[in-house]
Every structure is written in structure tokens, then in C-alpha cells.
Amino acid sequence: MLTPYRYVRIAGFVALAAIALASSLDAQAVAVITVYDPWVRVASNGKSAEAFMEIMSSEGATIVRVETDVSAEVPMQRPGTKRAVTDSIALPPRTNVKLAPNDYRLTLPKLNRPLKLGDRVALNLIVEAPDGSRQTIPVNAEVRKRSAYDDHMHPLRPHTHTH
């Protein structure tokens, strides 16, 4: 039979175990990185490309490097001029970060093989958490003329002549 004293003692142990479990879970929390609508646009000369997507981090993180097998380097570009390179792209907690034309974006300056519409480009985003731990996020981007969202909202109309 549980006496009031034993009941309080068991409740105390349960409370301590819950606190210990919660603190160990906090120490091991891993950001969930979600990538939406990844796509790649090839330059008109076919020798370079840019990659775009939307990214969200549950806990906050930073993209510190990007790798791909189609280009030896993948510089991260800031909004504005083509030569405005940045070392990282911040992913604030629960905030949608858009990599888009004329905004933050990834460049593939020297393609090592030709890319055509419909091809898939594998990208690895190296993401660093606030505690310094890193994870690799694989992204499979389609080569397109514009984003799937743009295609859905503003479909290309066939060119017609009226005389």
C-alpha cells in the first residue's frame, strides 16, 4: 500500500527523471531543414547555371557550403550584382528563406557537363547549427526555365498571330 510519504517520494523520482530526459533531449535537438521547389536555370551560353529553392529550418541554422558533381565550386551569391559572394546564408528559425533570381542564390560557374531542360542536379547543402554541428542536406533540383510556382501562376501561352 502506498503511504503519502512513499507517494511523494515516487512522484519526486518521476519529476527528476522527466527533467533529466527533457534536458538531454534539448541538448540533442537537431534542426529539421525543409527544402521546397528546388530548380536550376542554365545560362544562355550553357556554360554556367544558378540554383534556386526555398528553405526553412525549425531551429535556425546557416548554410556554410554547397557541393555538386556538375561544378567544381558553388559560390553563394548575395542579392544584387553577380559578383557579390557571401560565405554563408542564414536560416532563421521557422522563417522561409527564398533563394531566387536577383536574391540570394547558388551559382554553378563552370559546368563540367551540359545540362538540358528536365535534367536533375544533385546538390548537397552543408548546414551548421548554432552549436557548431553540421549536417548535409541532399537536394535534387530540376533544370527549368523558371520555377514550378511561376509555371503554375503564369503558364506560358503559345505564341499566336492574328491577321
Residues 81 and 132 in one domain: yes
- Asked whether 39 and 117 are in contact (CB, 8 A), the reply is no
- Asked whether 33 and 125 are in contact (CB, 8 A), the reply is yes
Q: What is the residue-level pLDDT of the chain in tens, covering all 163 positions?
A: 545 544 444 444 444 444 444 444 444 556 799 999 999 999 999 999 999 999 999 999 999 999 999 999 999 999 976 678 999 999 999 999 999 998 999 999 999 999 999 999 999 999 999 999 999 999 999 999 876 655 545 555 554 545 5
pTM of the model: 0.73
pLDDT at 103: 92
- Asked whether 60 and 93 are in contact (CB, 8 A), the reply is yes
- Determine the Cα–Cα distance for residues 141 and 120; give it in Å rounded to an integer: 6
Whether residue 115 is contained in a domain is answered as yes
pLDDT at 135: 95
DSSP string computed for 4-61: HHHHHHHHHHHHHHHHHHHHHHHHT----EEEEEEEEEE-TTSS-EEEEEEEEESS-E
Whether residue 23 is contained in a domain is answered as yes
Residues 121 and 69 in one domain: yes
Query: If DSSP codes are grouped into helix, strand and coil, which group holds residue 1?
Result: coil
The three grid cell numbers given for residue 44, joined into one nine-digit string: 544562355
Range of the domain at 22: 1-30
Residues 46 and 126 in one domain: yes
Residues 18 and 37 in one domain: no
The three grid cell numbers given for residue 58, joined into one nine-digit string: 525549425
Work out how many domains the chain is built from and give that number. 2
The CATH number that applies at residue 116 is: 2.60.40.1890
Residues 42 and 8 in one domain: no
Residues 25 and 103 in one domain: no
Residues 91 and 131 in one domain: yes
Q: Is the dihedral of CA 151, 154, 159, 160 positive or negative?
A: positive
Residues 84 and 42 in one domain: yes
